[in-house]
Structure 1
Amino acid sequence: MNNAGLFSICSDNLFFGRAALIERLFALPSKESGLSNAVYLCGGRWTGKTEILRRVHKKLFFEQTAVTPVYYQFKDYPDTIAFAEDYLKEILKQFVAFRRRSPDLVATPLTLAGIEKLLGAEKDAEKIREVISRHRLAQKYNDKNAAFQNAVRAHLSISSNTNMPVFLLLDDFDYLDRAVCFAGQSGIKRELLDALNAAPSFIVAGREKGALEGSIINSIEFLPITGLDEDVSSAAFVELCAQNGVECGAEALSAAGQKLEGCPFYIKNLVTSAKRTGGRLLSLKDFARVYADEITGGNTAEALRSYIKLDSLGSLKILKECAENSAKKITSNAGEFADLLAFEETEVNQNIKALSAIGLTEATLGAVKYTGGGVVADFIGYAYDIYVKGLSTGEARTVLINGLLRHGFEVRYSKIRSRLKEEVAGVLTGFDGQKVSKRFLRISVSLAGLEEREGAPLTAPEKDTEITLPQISGFYTAERFEYSEAGPEIIIAEGFEDGRYETAGSIVWFVAIKDATAPVNGEDAENFLRRVSILKENFQGKKTDRWIIGREGFTAVARKILENAGVFTTDGARLNGLKESLFKTHDKDGVSVPYSGFGKEFEVALPSLPRAELVAAKAADEIAAGMGFNEDARGAIKTAVIEACINSFEHGRFKTGKVSVKFTSEKDRLIIHVRNGGADFSVPAPQARNISDGLIKRRGWGLELIKGLMDEVRFEKLSGGAGIEMVKLLGKKGEASDAKQA
């Protein structure tokens, strides 16, 4: 009777990429696997460790007779004796099931008395009954150590009395380090390790390598279990889509490969969600929509909530900070969290310990490393936006989708190869709703074009008006829609206009590139218009624009055709000007650095907690540094933000209310709005202040101090509260101290 369900394994058509490993582990008892006599499968949650162990167990049960296979999964128990009884029952029950070749017994709940009855008068039964008797005696006298020792050595008693070794497959082995029932019992783990060391061979699995590191177990081999490699995960994705009737496209496949970490659990949930909500995973937009559904309310979200169980905002804030630092390749420091998040150091350490226990962080000598992965980071970010920043679920979902679309750049940008195409691709990544001069997208006639005009006078220069660029979410070549088309290559750039991911705001730009020594001619122009008219059929209902770029400019005929059709046109020189406008260079502490964040807004919602203003100050410093403000200017900005936040908290209508701080970075200034839900901002009497090396060292001058630190200060009457707007200009007071020192 080969019933897979009795062994709690998933359907074969949902299991991918581990067949070779399962065969190696199956051969372990026979010494033909090429592995050591003991193996530790070490990997994160949902990487497939449990499924691997259960499949090896099933295979050992049905396909060999040399060892008795026993699978056990550690969990928490009321006390040590309760664990000992549960462990002992599984060992003995599975021994009886294998001896009788009765797979139904594997999934049948049995008591120790029931197991004794099954043993009957079988050979060796008396010796096995002695193991049960020892447990009952330990239970009678509440001897926890005796009960535990008897249970973990039961496999050795069976092996010695039946001449058939018991082969253990122990899952979630590192649970021993965090199970409540084992707390404070240092000898427990040592007893189990000693019992394992006496076995010929075994397999254990856990999340952390440290669970067995440093032990004296003979020749144990650590096998890391990570996500499926890209080829296998792609094949799994396509196969699951086919099984579920979900349309699958290259864009969504590539995005899934980048985002889902090769995790079978995430892949399965994504495809299932797509089937439930429309059956499409063709484009990056499809992927973003379905992925957001999973993170915000699908099976993945449910599993993550159960797994993470964030019981405080402290854990959420620490996780968010760790995940962001990890993405920036920055090591987090436990000591910094106390100041940054306005927590007591004891509270920080408790939160980090709890997060490390569930495998989301690793703490070593004060350094905290995030280990949760990208999907968990997205889930944490979504929760943070709701519970800390105060966004609605819809707003937080929009933030998540916009981030996913931005992530699409990494997938698509790699497909753009030639020199001019790389320049254009780089420019498109900077399209983020800014206003730029229209002259960058309207080209004068090239020298080659003057010859074709036959002496016609040049038109008057176009008025230098501005055009608002779209927010481009991603781009790719049009080759997937075209077959053997001649002419300049076309890039399709998708995005939106209103700052939110909504169908009504969707826009598509068709961008043609001619990277040649000859200008764009009339034939090129006609070819582009014809091809775009066909390509637009794939984007019905969306607003579209057309843009053609020629390194050497345009002939007069081409310009006339394109102008009449309302096509944007740019030559190589104007492209460089557009690039400089989007990625203007500023001086930061004497070093020129590019900054592409102009026109962007950042908002922080501060809870009414001690030192919450330091969070806003840190954000202000990072934004100001990125814009090119020098150290003195950044110090002034931080002090002004701290003063404004403290004033806002002191005079808020509700002492438990939040203060909102919004930063807007413009080309020549940083604008900061601080708003509360209460009375007007107050102007307290000035107190002594201490200014050293151009930096403000103490607070206390209230709004007078803010006025002295910032270039512009305005007060606002708001519905239900009050606000202050502060402006710091680039090149004004921000550089004054440097000039004086010179």
Structure 2
Amino acid sequence: MPFNAIPAEDFLNREPELNYLKGLSKLKANALGGDVFLDGARGMGKTELQKQLYRILFWENNVVPFYYSFKTANLKGTYFAQDYFTGFVRQYISFVKKDPSIANNVAEPLQRLMPTISSLGLYWLIDCIEDFQGHVNKNDFYWQLVAAISAPVMAAQKMGKPVIVMLDDFDEAAHLYESSLGDAHGLISLFGESMRNRLCPHVITGSAGALEPIFTDHSLIGMTERMRLGPLPEDLAIALFRAHLTNLKITCAPGVQLEFLDLLRGNPFYIKNLAKAAWKMQKNVITEKDLIECYSFEVSDGETAFYWASVFSRYVKNPAQSKAMLKLLMHAIENGGIEDGKRLSMVSGLGEAETETLLNALTTSGIMRVKDAVLHDFIHCLYMKEIEGRNVSDAREKIEAKYIQEREESCFELVIPMSSNAELVVAKAVEQIGKNINLDAEFLNYLQLALIEVCINAIEHSGSYEKKVFLKFITRPDKLEIIVENSGRPFSLESIKEVPVEEKMRLGMKRGWGYKLVHKIMDSVKVERVNDRTRVILTKNIDNGS
């Protein structure tokens, strides 16, 4: 319900947007404004902005607020109509009497409210209720929907007081149906008349990708302006986090800079959830390391994980599709997007048609386009659990290790074409990196030879459709890690035939040194298969004798 908004003092940096929306009814009445689509990344506070607006309007008494969330709505048309209509009636009476309990008591039948409605002199509302019930008794599907959706307009016209209609996750209205899913396309267009009315400005949220075709399909196009909600500035993000901690009776350790919050990119939803995670984990005094620990809990098993899991569940119908979606998303994260659509069925494990349908749903949702480190970490955790079969503890340890190491590491990335002598560029790069971290000259020479062999193996034997080799060099005070990755055919270390190292040195061979040399000079050599890509991970522990 709209009354469960956060305290106004904790809703930071949205005063201009709130002030504009408060005056929306006057702007629309004078044809200077229209309806508003709240745009922004998930968690930026679009729903919260609606709730804050609702609370302000409810107590100011100049404009009637009505809030409806499609997120939890039953989209069967008759059920939706009943829920929408009764919700408006309750909220309207609640507004007139200034009694929030009426709106919150969703279990009370409308018939029990009739004496209250009569005492308020709202006889036109009694007529509306009787008309709606008449459509129900006649089983008139179409007029039930029309009567429900037009109720705010009717109220505004009868009382001469504007009604601001707030529709949360409005794109879900595109899935309204009569008897079975997909049997009545275009029912969302019934909102057109209500949205055109000058006494009823609408403030809506939802997936931009899903809403754009909705407005293109009918006369709503051009009637709605976009209001984008951006992230909180760094100082306000820290202030909000500290405010949440204070409310939860948690303090920060002396000297803590809260630099880890940069990862959350000023997202109020993530900030709130991280603070709550600290409370759930019984933290009394927060350190930077605690933040990482709480964050790993949040993206693996906390409210943020639950939220994204519920978003994903809208777009998949069974476990097979769920796993396929995870594989596609991991592929997109690791490759910076999806370039070769023809090979996606190999990644997903589904047929081409089913993969295309799933990909279209993800594209419409906007998830594929989101550059969100928190979402990516959630996907990685879920991938480890659902695809790799790891437990939650393993997933959390992986995330924690990633961020603890990042605070102490440097990372260099290199992409080379699969062409003649391209591996020599890698040798030159690793030479410079080795000098920067003071690697032993003899070891560095062997490392260059080993990397040349790994790259040649990828170039000559992988059959990569990308014709590229991706390398990442990660340096830490105690460790050097080199990751070599390419698409194409898989291989195993056991399948590679080697010539003895001593023989190659005797013959002065500069190629074909093979993986025995790699194993000899590195502390760890792993070969992984990730979707359609082969990943070689070379690790060398560093000490003064390296």
TM-score normalised over the length of structure 2: 0.71
Separation (CA, whole Å) in 2 of partners of 1:165 and 1:26: 11
Map of 1:18 onto structure 2: 14
Partner SS state of residue 391, structure 1: coil
Q: CA, structure 1 residues 166+179, in 2 after alignment: closer, same or farther (shift >3 Å)?
A: same
Map of 1:37 onto structure 2: 34
Q: Does structure 1 retain, via aligned residues, the 8 Å contact 2:76–2:176?
A: no
Q: CA, structure 1 residues 49+639, in 2 after alignment: closer, same or farther (shift >3 Å)?
A: closer
Q: Deviations over 1:50-80 (max 9, x none)?
A: 2111111111121242x32222222432621
Separation (CA, whole Å) in 2 of partners of 1:672 and 1:294: 29
Separation (CA, whole Å) in 2 of partners of 1:430 and 1:195: 66
Map of 1:114 onto structure 2: 112
Separation (CA, whole Å) in 1 of partners of 2:518 and 2:451: 13
* Rg comparison, structure with higher value: 1
Q: Does structure 1 retain, via aligned residues, the 8 Å contact 2:36–2:227?
A: yes
Q: Pairwise CA RMSD of aligned residues?
A: 4.5
| Unmatched tracts of structure 1, length 5 or more | 362-368, 414-422, 441-463, 467-576, 603-618, 623-634, 645-661, 676-725, 727-742
The one-letter code sitting in structure 1 at the alignment partner of 2:269 is F
- Is 1:303 the counterpart of 2:307? The answer is yes
Map of 2:506 onto structure 1: none
Q: Does structure 2 retain, via aligned residues, the 8 Å contact 1:319–1:370?
A: no
Q: Which moved more, 1:32-41 or 1:162-171?
A: 32-41
Q: Does structure 1 retain, via aligned residues, the 8 Å contact 2:473–2:481?
A: no
- Is 1:61 the counterpart of 2:58? The answer is yes
Q: Which moved more, 1:374-383 or 1:69-78?
A: 69-78
Q: Deviations over 1:240-274 (max 9, x none)?
A: 334432315777622211x2132222212222323
Counterpart of 1:80 (choices 77, 83, 90) is 77
CA drift of 1:176 comes to: 0.7
Partner SS state of residue 223, structure 1: strand
CA drift of 1:380 comes to: 1.6
Map of 2:295 onto structure 1: 291
Q: CA, structure 1 residues 52+124, in 2 after alignment: closer, same or farther (shift >3 Å)?
A: same
Separation (CA, whole Å) in 2 of partners of 1:43 and 1:291: 23
- Paired residues for 1:241-256 under 5 Å: 241-243=245-247, 244-247=249-252, 253-256=258-261
| Unmatched tracts of structure 2, length 5 or more | 413-428, 460-466, 496-514, 530-535, 537-546
Partner SS state of residue 120, structure 1: helix
Q: Does structure 2 retain, via aligned residues, the 8 Å contact 1:273–1:294?
A: yes
Separation (CA, whole Å) in 1 of partners of 2:175 and 2:485: 40
Map of 1:208 onto structure 2: 208
Q: Does structure 1 retain, via aligned residues, the 8 Å contact 2:2–2:55?
A: no
Separation (CA, whole Å) in 2 of partners of 1:187 and 1:168: 20
CA drift of 1:392 comes to: 3.7
Partner SS state of residue 381, structure 2: helix
The one-letter code sitting in structure 1 at the alignment partner of 2:349 is A
Map of 1:483 onto structure 2: none
- Is 1:28 the counterpart of 2:24? The answer is yes
Separation (CA, whole Å) in 2 of partners of 1:344 and 1:204: 36
Separation (CA, whole Å) in 2 of partners of 1:663 and 1:344: 40
Q: Deviations over 1:716-740 (max 9, x none)?
A: xxxxxxxxxx9xxxxxxxxxxxxxx
Map of 2:96 onto structure 1: 99
CA drift of 1:642 comes to: 12
Partner SS state of residue 57, structure 1: helix
CA drift of 1:666 comes to: 6.0
The one-letter code sitting in structure 1 at the alignment partner of 2:259 is S
Separation (CA, whole Å) in 1 of partners of 2:271 and 2:332: 26
The one-letter code sitting in structure 2 at the alignment partner of 1:207 is S
CA drift of 1:327 comes to: 5.8
- Is 1:71 the counterpart of 2:70? The answer is no
In terms of fraction of residues, the more strand-rich structure is 1
Which structure exhibits the higher relative contact order, with contacts defined as CA atoms closer than 8 Å and separated by 6 or more residues?
Answer: 2
Separation (CA, whole Å) in 1 of partners of 2:75 and 2:469: 63
Q: Identity of aligned pairs, percent?
A: 19
TM-score normalised over the length of structure 1: 0.54
Partner SS state of residue 5, structure 2: coil
In terms of fraction of residues, the more helix-rich structure is 2
Q: Which moved more, 1:263-272 or 1:327-336?
A: 327-336
The one-letter code sitting in structure 2 at the alignment partner of 1:349 is E
Q: Does structure 2 retain, via aligned residues, the 8 Å contact 1:39–1:223?
A: yes
- Paired residues for 1:300-699 under 5 Å: 300-309=304-313, 311-312=318-319, 314-326=321-333, 328-353=335-360, 355=362, 359=365, 361=367, 369-371=368-370, 373-408=372-407, 436-437=439-440, 596=473, 621-622=486-487, 638=489
Map of 1:174 onto structure 2: 171
Count how many residue pairs are aligned between Structure 1 and Structure 2: 463
Q: Deviations over 1:571-595 (max 9, x none)?
A: xxxxxx89x9799789877999976
The one-letter code sitting in structure 2 at the alignment partner of 1:26 is K
